[in-house]
Structure 1
Amino acid sequence: MRLFLTKVWGWDTPVGPLQFSTSGWRDNALRQLEDGDRVVLVGTEGDQTPDDMKGRLLGVMEPSRELVMSLDFDVRASPGDFVDSKYKWPLGLLNLCAWSLPQRPKLKKQISDRKFNMPAVRGVVPLNDNEAARVLALDWREEALMQPTAQAGARMAKRHGAAKRTAPPPTTKRRGVMHMRRAPAYTYAMRIVGARTSAFKIGWAFDFKQRARQFNHAAMPSLGGLEYKPFLYHLWDTARQAYAMEQALLAKLSDRVHGHNGEIVTDLSDEALEAAWRAAVTVP
């Protein structure tokens, strides 16, 4: 295991990815880092860094080689972190573990006499043996890692060919119900094929494709019944958000809701539904 150093504007927990401003700096870090290496985060001396973090060792990360986008995580960002609406450190490496350094020693004098320049601000710089020994002698406290959004997690799983996460098992216990509300879920709109007029089923589910199969199993389109075909869907981090969008969408389309089923809207064009959908996505 080797130790590297990078400069940051602060330290928050749970801990997000190791961030970089450009692919060049991230690639440079990947060329240096090996499995098991760790990166020490030191607060800059600039105005952007809180006074109690300036020039101090704040934490340690163990990055993987998994490429991620920084804003796929709920990183704590301020207006000064953006230029022309673009995040300054959009690229990252997923962390395997992270630790805070409660003692927060000063980098200068307490850890190193060297001057760390731009490579330490934009990328990572290896520590020498004496510097590494001083860091390893500090108290390390393991911290929770920030999880990617549901959409990012699904994208990463697809990239690696991993199995998609299924819905949580049914439960009637309050703790289990609360867990289900916090699980990723979809808001969906399904076209109802075979209806006398244009019709869509609006709802939410942990797996909208499975829900469509359930509807079609009951409707039996092969025998002349209605067929439910997924038309629009949006993955949310929690079932609460998916439900909130469902309700917002139905409220926007209240004049189109079927009299016998409050989750079906009729006499609606694809374009009208898509416009209401775009507006409802921003509601939760």
Structure 2
Amino acid sequence: MRQGMAHVYWFRLVTGEKIVGHKIGWAFDYRQRLRQFRAVSISALGGLQYQAHRFQALESARLAFKVEQGILRTFDQHRHRSNREVLTGIDTSQIETVWDRYIREVLFGRLPPRP
């Protein structure tokens, strides 16, 4: 895995005014990743819009991956069948609680907690 700082991110998937899902992932450059998703979503034709909701810079890709996977495992029953990095049927506040816990633990120098 490439060395260097990486980001864990949380993008909202929106159609019109409605949040229809949440994309949890990691990338070296979350802004570039957001542009990539937006380029293929065709939002002008009624497709999904990706909106950056939260992101956090971390010291390594390995750590960003661990945080991503921990958050996703916590909500395994809400993972979309066709894309396991997308959560559906879940309230934003539930994700915020777990996101905040993981980020806080990492920033205090502890490995991400197990779900």
TM-score, normalised to structure 1's length?
A: 0.35
Which residue of structure 1 aligns with residue 67 of structure 2?
245
Percentage identity across aligned positions?
Answer: 32
Structure with the larger helix share? 2
Q: Which amino acid aligns with 2:13?
A: I
Is the 1:198–1:268 Cα contact (8 Å) retained in structure 2? no
Q: Which amino acid aligns with 1:245?
A: V
Cα offsets for 1:159-180 (capped at 9, x unmatched): xxxxxxxxxxxxxxxxxx4xx1
For residue 276 of structure 1, report the CA deviation from its aligned partner: 1.2
Unaligned ranges ≥5, structure 2: 106-111
* Runs of 4+ in structure 1 over 4 Å off: none
Partners of 1:280 and 1:257 in 2: how far apart? 18
1:87-126 matched pairs, under 5 angstroms: none
Which residue of structure 2 aligns with residue 187 of structure 1?
8
Q: Which has the higher contact order (CA 8 A, sep 6+)?
A: 2
1:259 counterpart SS class: coil
The alignment's C-alpha RMSD in Å is 1.7
Partners of 2:102 and 2:96 in 1: how far apart? 10
Which residue of structure 1 aligns with residue 31 of structure 2?
209
Count of residues paired in the alignment: 105
For residue 270 of structure 1, report the CA deviation from its aligned partner: 1.9
Identify the match of residue 198 of structure 1 among 20, 45, 59: 20
Q: Which amino acid aligns with 1:192?
A: L
Unaligned ranges ≥5, structure 1: 1-176
Which residue of structure 1 aligns with residue 46 of structure 2?
224
Report the structure number with the largest CA radius of gyration: 1
Is the 1:250–1:263 Cα contact (8 Å) retained in structure 2? yes
TM-score, normalised to structure 2's length?
A: 0.83
Is the 1:198–1:269 Cα contact (8 Å) retained in structure 2? no
Is the 1:257–1:266 Cα contact (8 Å) retained in structure 2? yes
Is the 2:23–2:86 Cα contact (8 Å) retained in structure 1? yes
